[in-house]
């Protein structure tokens, strides 16, 4: 509560720190902390985001959000009294640390940034989306560019791809084929009514306004929910993911799980405790 942070673990990966902060975000091997005055402190692996000296002058004030991929950070700076604005990136260029190719689009109006393992996606105040980083992992959204020029209200990333919800309740996906492959049946269910999208390592789960859940992507990561499909047709109020499994809370207080058993997809051992 006093704003201090305690860290431990491998020092090279950020386990050793001495910085009081208000928010902490991490890459695979580094941390970035936003302090109460809006400045950012970084530590850990220098290449993977621990060294922010190249953009230090831009991180002394006004930072309101920091997001990390496996090896880079992206920070949103506020424009005056407005809690959104420009984006500053640092870290390994292979993971999105270099945003120079889209710099002109990131100078103002950014309201949210999220990442996959190696790419970033930024939502702007006008509802458009800007992407950069590893092209295969979502950094290149040219295939769906026409669908990302307006109306986007949320973007979610798993390890390999992004899924964006538009104001009309439809979903747009891009990135690695392993995570974005959608059958015609699933595609029809994502044309309207989606209110939330959650990701695991290689799959997505979308919750619709009618309380149903639609899944796609790598079956091993929870993309195939056919085993529990009858339990996901209504009443779902929240979905969360681990690395390779999902858990859905229903309105009656019960929990439904699917995906890789060792990642939480099999909750049979505690089923009686999750019935209500």
pLDDT tens for each residue of the chain, 276 residues long: 666 777 777 766 666 655 557 789 999 999 999 998 899 999 999 999 999 999 999 999 999 999 999 999 999 999 866 667 999 999 999 999 999 999 999 999 999 999 999 999 999 999 999 999 999 999 999 999 999 999 999 999 999 999 999 999 999 999 998 888 787 889 999 999 999 999 999 999 999 999 999 999 999 999 999 999 999 999 999 999 999 999 999 999 999 999 999 999 999 999 999 999
Mind listing the pLDDT tens digit for each residue in 194-244?
Answer: 999 999 999 999 999 999 999 999 999 999 999 999 999 999 999 999 999
Looking at the chain, how many residues does it have? 276
Query: What distances in angstroms separate CA 32 from CA 99, 220, 252, one per listed residue?
Result: 18, 32, 39
| Torsion angle, alpha carbons of 266, 273, 195, 263, to 10 | -30
> b/e for 2-23, b at 16 or more Cβ within 10 A?
eeeeebeeeeebbeebeeebee
- Which one is the CATH code of 1-176: 3.40.190.80, 3.20.20.150, 1.10.620.20, 2.130.10.30? 2.130.10.30
Question: Cα separation of 137 and 160, whole Å?
Answer: 5
Residue linked to tokens 């710099």:
103
For the chain, residues classed under CATH 2.130.10.30 are: 1-176
Q: pTM surpassing 0.75? A: yes
């Amino acid at each position: 509560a006093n704003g201090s942070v305690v860290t431990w673990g491998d020092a090279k990966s950020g386990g050793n720190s001495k910085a009081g902060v208000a928010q902490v975000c991490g890459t695979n091997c580094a941390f970035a902390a936003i302090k109460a005055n809006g400045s950012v402190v970084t530590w850990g692996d220098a290449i993977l985001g621990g060294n922010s000296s190249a953009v230090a002058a831009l991180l002394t004030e006004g930072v309101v959000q920091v997001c990390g991929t496996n090896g880079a950070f992206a920070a949103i700076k506020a424009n005056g009294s407005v809690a959104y604005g420009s984006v500053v990136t640092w870290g390994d260029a292979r993971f999105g640390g270099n945003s120079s190719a889209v710099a002109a689009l990131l100078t103002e109006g950014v309201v949210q940034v999220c990442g996959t393992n190696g790419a970033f996606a930024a939502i702007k105040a006008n509802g458009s989306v800007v992407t950069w980083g590893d092209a295969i992992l979502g950094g290149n959204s040219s295939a769906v560019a026409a669908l990302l020029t307006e109306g986007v209200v949320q973007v979610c990333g798993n390890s390999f791809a992004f899924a964006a919800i538009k104001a009309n309740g439809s979903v747009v996906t891009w990135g690695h084929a392993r995570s974005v492959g959608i059958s015609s049946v699933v595609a029809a269910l994502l044309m309207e009514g989606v209110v939330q999208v959650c990701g695991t390592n290689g799959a997505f789960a979308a919750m619709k306004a009618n309380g149903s859940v639609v899944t796609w992507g790598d079956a091993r990561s929870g993309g195939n929910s056919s085993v529990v499909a009858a339990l996901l047709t209504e009443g779902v109020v929240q979905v969360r993911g681990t690395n390779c499994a999902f858990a859905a809370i229903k309105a009656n207080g019960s929990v439904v799980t699917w995906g890789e058993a060792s990642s939480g997809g099999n909750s049979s051992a505690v089923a009686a405790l999750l019935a209500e």
